[in-house]
Structure 1
Amino acid sequence: MKRRELLAMGAAALAAPAWVSAQQSAWPARSAIKLNVQYPPGGLVDTVARLMAPHLSTALGQAVVVENRAGAGGLVGTEFVSRQAADGYNLLVSHASVHVYATATRRKMPFDSVGDFTHMGMLVEAPMLLLVHADSPYKTLAEYTAAARTRPVNYGTSGVGSANHLYGELLKIEANAPMHTHVPFQGSAPAIQSLLGAQIDSVFDPVTTNVSTLRAGKLRALAVSTPSRMPAFPDIPTFAELGYPSLTGSQWLGLSAPKGLPAPIAQRLTALIPEILAKPDILAQLNELQTLPRKAPVLGNDFAQLIQSQVSTWSSVAKRANVEVI
C-alpha cells in the first residue's frame, strides 16, 4: 500500500471520533424527543411526564412529546425503550413497579432493569399507605396485626407481584400474622372501591391516588412507608416508628434511556433533573399529589445502584413470601 493511502486512512481514523462528537454535541436537532410512558393516560406516570415535558423542551430547545405505550403492567413500554437506539431521542419515565417489583417477582423478564438502561436519576417518590375504611374496627396498626394473627384480615392490592402485594406479605412476615390474606384486583382503583364498600379490610396503595379520600374522611391510614411523617398528614404514623422499619420505601419514578446513551447526552439530562424539579410550578403540582422529589437528588450511577439494591431486597422478600409471577 502506498504511503499516501496509509496517510489518508490514518487521517480518516482520527477524524471519526470528532465526527461522532460533533453529532452528539448537536443533539437534539434531528427530531422531536419521545418521552415514553408505559401506562395509559391519566395516571401518575403520565401526569409526571406531562409536567416534565414542556420544561425539558424549553431547556433542550427541541419538542418533547409524551407517548403512551401501555400493556402488561408497564412491561410493554419499558421493553420498547430498552430496544431503541441510544441516541437520546427515546427516553422513559421509569417506574419502580417495573424496574424493581416486577423484576423481583417475575420468573422471566424481557430486559435487565439495570443493564439494559442508562438511568439518569430519580424524579419523585410516592409513599405507600395501609388504608382502612373510616368505620373500620382497626384504629391502629397494632390492633390490625393482632387481629391478623388469629383470624382472616383481607388486604387488597393492584395485583399479584405488585409493590402493594409485597408490602402486604412483608408485613405478614414481620408481624407474624399468618391470617393476613391477599386479595388481588385488576388495578388499584377496583381495590379502593371495594374498600370504600367495606368488602375488604384494607388496601396497600400509594398516597398519590388517595389524597382526596383521606382528606374527605372516607378512608383512614394506619401507617405510611416514609422515613418520617408526611407534613401534609402529620397524624399518620410511619411503619418504622411502629416497629416495622423494613416497610420503609416508596414507588419512585425516574428518567431513563436505552443502555449506551452517549455520556454528554446522559450528563446533560441528568443535570436537568434537579433544575426542573426545583421549579415552583412543578413543586406545587407535585405537592398536591404528595409525590415529591428527594431533598438530596439520586442521580446517575447512584440511581442505578439504588435500583439494583432494591431489586435484591425485594427479591428476597418475594422468595420468603413465595411470591412468583410466571
Structure 2
Amino acid sequence: MNRRAILGLAVGGTFGGLAAPRFAAAQSGAWPTRGSLRLVAQFPPGGLVDTVSRLMAPMLSQSLGQTVVVENRAGAGGVIGTDFVAKQPADGYTLLVSHASVHVFSAATMPTLPFHPVTDFTHMGMLVEASNVLLVKADSPYQTLDQYIAAARTRPVRYGSSGIGSAPHLLGAMLTGETGAINLDHVPYRGSAPAMQDLMANQIESMIDPITTNVQLMKDGVLRALAVSTPQRLAAFPNVPTFAELGFAKLTSAQWLGLSAPKGLPAPIAERLTTLIPQLVARPELMARFEELQTLPRNPPPLGADFTTIINQQIGEWTAVARQFNIVVT
C-alpha cells in the first residue's frame, strides 16, 4: 500500500480497446453538451471530501467547458451519497468523489451495502491519499509510541475515532493486536469533530484520525503526533516517526479519494475523464493546496483498471482485519 508506488498504466493503455470513431466523438465535444455536471460529495461541507470536491470542480469545469456543481449528499457514513450516484444514469452528468471510507472500509465492515463498491461504478482513477496519525495533546505524558503502548499494557488508555468500522478504528485494533496493549480502548464518535472535542477536554487520552484536518493543530503545537501511517516520514513533519519504522509495518495505510461514476459510463467519456486526472492533480495551484492538507496524489496516479484493482485488493485486506477483530457495523 505504498502511496508512492507506481501502479498506474499509461493513460492511453487503460482504455486501449476503444474504437477510434467513439474516441473521436468524445474529443470533438459530443459530451458534455447539456446543462451542468454535478460532482457529488457524500460527506458534509467542511470535510476532506467536500474540500477536494470544491477544489476539483472549477478545474473540471474549465477542462470540460461546462459548469460543474458540487452537491453534498451526506449520511450513513457516506453510504447515502454513494448509493445515490450508483443509481443515476451513466451519462457522464453525475460524478462522485469516491472515498476509501465507503468503497473499502464500509465494504469490509458492513454485512450489506445497497450497492457493490466495484461493479456498480466506473472508477476513473485516484485523486489523492490521506494518511492517519495517532494524536495526543501537547501536554500528554506520552512523548513516544513506546510510552503510549507501555501505559496501555497496564492501565486503560482510550483512543477516539470517527466511528465503528472506520479506518482509524481498524488501525487501532491492529495496533492493539500487534502490541498486546490489552487496555487500549476504542471510543467511537459520530465523526472526527466530537472526538477532537473530547480529546481537548481530556475525556480521552488519544485519537487516530486522518492527518488532513489536524495539520494546523500539529504545526501550532496543540497536538503531538506519536506516529503516522505513511511508508516514509512526511516532509512537513520530519520528527514524526512512521508506524513502520517503529516496528509495525502492517499499519502502513492511507485513505484515498477518487473520481468515479455509475457503472456503464460510455468508454469515450470514461477515457476523457481518466485522461484529465493526472493533468488536474498536477496543477500547481492544486498541488499547493494538497501540500497544505498533507493529502497528496500518487505519482503517477493509478487509473482505470489499476485503480479498480487497488480497490479490490484493499477490500480483501481490510475485510480480513475486520474479521480478525470482529468489527461489524450493523
Provide TM-score, normalisation by structure 2: 0.91
Aligned partner of 2:59 in structure 1 is: 55
The answer to whether residue 231 in structure 2 is matched with residue 227 in structure 1 is yes
**Bigger RCO of structures 1 and 2 (CA < 8 A, at least 6 apart):** 2
The answer to whether residue 148 in structure 2 is matched with residue 144 in structure 1 is yes
Shift of 1:95: 0.5
- What's the secondary structure of 1:183's corresponding residue? strand
Q: Separation in 2 of the partners of 1:302 and 1:206?
A: 24
Counterparts of residues 196-207 of structure 1 (less than 5 Å)? 196-207=200-211
After superposition, what is the alpha-carbon deviation per residue over 1:251-298, rounded to whole angstroms, capped at 9, x for unaligned?
Answer: 111000011111111111011001011111111111111111112211
Q: Separation in 2 of the partners of 1:77 and 1:64?
A: 17
- What's the secondary structure of 1:100's corresponding residue? helix
Aligned partner of 2:4 in structure 1 is: none
- What's the secondary structure of 2:295's corresponding residue? coil
Counterparts of residues 39-188 of structure 1 (less than 5 Å)? 39-188=43-192
Shift of 1:219: 1.0
- What's the secondary structure of 2:151's corresponding residue? helix
Asked if the contact 2:25/2:268 (under 8 Å) is kept, the reply is: no
Shift of 1:64: 0.9
- What's the secondary structure of 2:203's corresponding residue? coil
Find 1:312's aligned residue among 296, 302, 316.
316
Asked if the contact 1:121/1:299 (under 8 Å) is kept, the reply is: yes
Q: Separation in 1 of the partners of 2:139 and 2:22?
A: 68
Instruction: Calculate percent identity across the aligned residue pairs.
Output: 62
Asked if the contact 1:86/1:261 (under 8 Å) is kept, the reply is: yes
CA spacing shift, 1:23–1:131, aligned 2, 3 Å: closer
Root-mean-square deviation over aligned CA pairs:
1.7
Asked if the contact 1:81/1:90 (under 8 Å) is kept, the reply is: yes
Find 2:271's aligned residue among 267, 284, 297.
267
CA spacing shift, 1:274–1:174, aligned 2, 3 Å: same
- What's the secondary structure of 1:221's corresponding residue? strand
Q: Separation in 2 of the partners of 1:222 and 1:129?
A: 7
Point out where structure 2 has 5 or more consecutive residues left out of the alignment. Answer: 1-20
Aligned partner of 2:288 in structure 1 is: 284
Q: Separation in 2 of the partners of 1:268 and 1:21?
A: 11
Structure number with the higher helix fraction is 1
Aligned partner of 1:301 in structure 2 is: 305
CA spacing shift, 1:176–1:258, aligned 2, 3 Å: same
Q: Higher mean Cα deviation, 271-280 or 137-146?
A: 137-146
Provide TM-score, normalisation by structure 1: 0.92
Q: Separation in 1 of the partners of 2:109 and 2:183?
A: 22
- What's the secondary structure of 2:258's corresponding residue? strand
Quick one: which amino acid aligns to residue 272 of structure 2?
R
Shift of 1:176: 1.6
Q: Separation in 2 of the partners of 1:166 and 1:319?
A: 10
Shift of 1:20: 12
Q: Separation in 2 of the partners of 1:118 and 1:24?
A: 19
Asked if the contact 2:278/2:300 (under 8 Å) is kept, the reply is: no
Quick one: which amino acid aligns to residue 244 of structure 2?
A
Quick one: which amino acid aligns to residue 306 of structure 1?
I
Aligned partner of 2:9 in structure 1 is: none
CA spacing shift, 1:190–1:262, aligned 2, 3 Å: same
User: Which aligned segments of 4 or more residues in structure 1 are displaced greater than 6 angstroms?
Assistant: 18-21
Structure with max Cα Rg:
1
Point out where structure 1 has 5 or more consecutive residues left out of the alignment. Answer: 1-17
Aligned partner of 1:36 in structure 2 is: 40
Quick one: which amino acid aligns to residue 38 of structure 2?
K
Q: Separation in 1 of the partners of 2:300 and 2:246?
A: 25
- What's the secondary structure of 2:171's corresponding residue? helix
- What's the secondary structure of 1:62's corresponding residue? coil
Find 2:253's aligned residue among 238, 249, 255.
249
Asked if the contact 2:145/2:227 (under 8 Å) is kept, the reply is: yes
CA spacing shift, 1:53–1:178, aligned 2, 3 Å: same
Give the paired residue count.
310
Shift of 1:177: 1.5
Shift of 1:53: 0.8
